[in-house]
């Protein structure tokens, strides 16, 4: 009874806080000075047609580094706790029979999903999307692959190598930006190119390729670890 009363009290407090925020909310009719600078000078300073990319990858590059680090730690922790040290190799895995429709669909869709993920992070400086989104799309292709072919295996050493190389490359570009350009992950480290084209925005396309590879390999590693700890799929 006390537990239910406490939960009810928390819910009432939560509703009161949200209601107060909604009642007193007033939308801004103009951008604040920082957002105005991004909107007016972002395209000129970083050369990216996608302003969101310009903000996330350059102006807020340290935030992106923190997000990548968190994802790396998550993948490492999941892999550590799901590793099977004393697996019974003689125990037969009970795998459900896979639908022929799913197998056929995966044969057609998985390569397309991977290609879409690569397209998203390569064009992240031009269109909505980027490294995180492209890597997540690649991971959805891995999920479908596992569903269609439960016996599929992953080369964790290769995934770890790819993850490490992309992470080191990301940090190296940031450091080179400090030494040779205007700051950490500064896009002017490379020529800016023609605005709105694939080879534009300086070093931003390379940054997003590295982020996409890192996110894709980390999520694939997590999915592979989850699969290998299951005796029934």
Kindly indicate the confidence band of residue 230, based on its pLDDT and cuts at 50, 70 and 90.
Answer: low
- Per residue in 162-201, pLDDT tens? 888 998 999 999 999 989 988 888 888 899 988 889 889 9
Nearest to 137 by CA among 115, 160, 161: 115
- At residue 233, does pLDDT exceed 60? no
CB 204 within 8 A of CB 187: yes
Residue 202: name the closest of 180, 230, 223 by CA: 180
- State pTM to two decimals: 0.79
Percent of the chain with pLDDT over 70: 92
CA distance 216 to 1: 47
72 in a structural domain: yes
Domain region containing 62:
45-78+113-233
Highest-confidence segment of 93-97, 117-121, 147-151:
117-121
Surface-to-core class of residue 43, CB atoms within 10 Å of its CB (0-12 exposed, 13-18 middle, 19+ buried): middle
pLDDT at 232 over 50: no
Residue 10 forms part of a structural domain: no
Q: For 98-112, what is each residue's pLDDT tens digit?
A: 788 888 889 999 999
Query: What pLDDT sits at residue 118?
Result: 93
User: CA 205, CA 198: separation in Å to the nearest integer?
Assistant: 8
Q: What is the mean pLDDT of residues 96-125?
A: 89
Q: How many domains does the chain have?
A: 1
Q: Does residue 224 lie within any of the structural domains?
A: yes
Mean pLDDT score of the chain, rounded to an integer? 84
Q: What is the pLDDT of residue 84?
A: 53
* pLDDT score recorded for residue 182: 84
Residue 151 lies in a domain: yes
Is 74 within a domain? yes
Residue 130 located in a structural domain: yes
Q: Answer yes or no: is 91 within a domain.
A: no
Instruction: Say if 9 falls within a structural domain.
Output: no
pLDDT at position 93 is 56
């Amino acid at each position: 009874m006390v537990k239910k009363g406490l939960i009810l009290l928390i819910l009432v407090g939560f509703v009161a806080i949200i209601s107060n925020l909604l009642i007193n909310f007033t939308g801004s009719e103009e951008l604040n000075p920082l957002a105005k600078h991004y909107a007016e000078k972002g395209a000129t300073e970083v050369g990216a047609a996608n302003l969101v990319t310009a903000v996330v990858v350059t102006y807020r590059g340290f935030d992106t580094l923190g997000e990548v680090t968190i994802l790396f730690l998550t993948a490492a922790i999941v892999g550590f706790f799901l590793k099977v040290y004393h697996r019974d190799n003689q125990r037969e895995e009970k795998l459900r029979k896979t639908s022929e429709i799913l197998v056929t669909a995966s044969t057609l869709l998985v390569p397309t999903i991977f290609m879409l993920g690569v397209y998203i992070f390569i064009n992240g400086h031009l269109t909505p999307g980027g490294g995180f989104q492209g890597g997540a799309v690649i991971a959805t292709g891995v999920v479908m692959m596992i569903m269609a072919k439960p016996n599929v295996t992953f080369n964790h050493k290769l995934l770890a190598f790819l993850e490490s190389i992309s992470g080191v490359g990301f940090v190296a570009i940031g450091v080179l930006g400090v030494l040779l350009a205007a700051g950490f992950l500064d896009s002017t480290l490379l020529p800016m190119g023609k605005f709105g084209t694939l080879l534009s925005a300086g070093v931003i396309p390379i940054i997003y390729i590295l982020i996409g590879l890192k996110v894709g390999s980390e999520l694939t590693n997590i999915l592979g670890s989850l699969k290998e700890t299951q005796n029934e799929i």
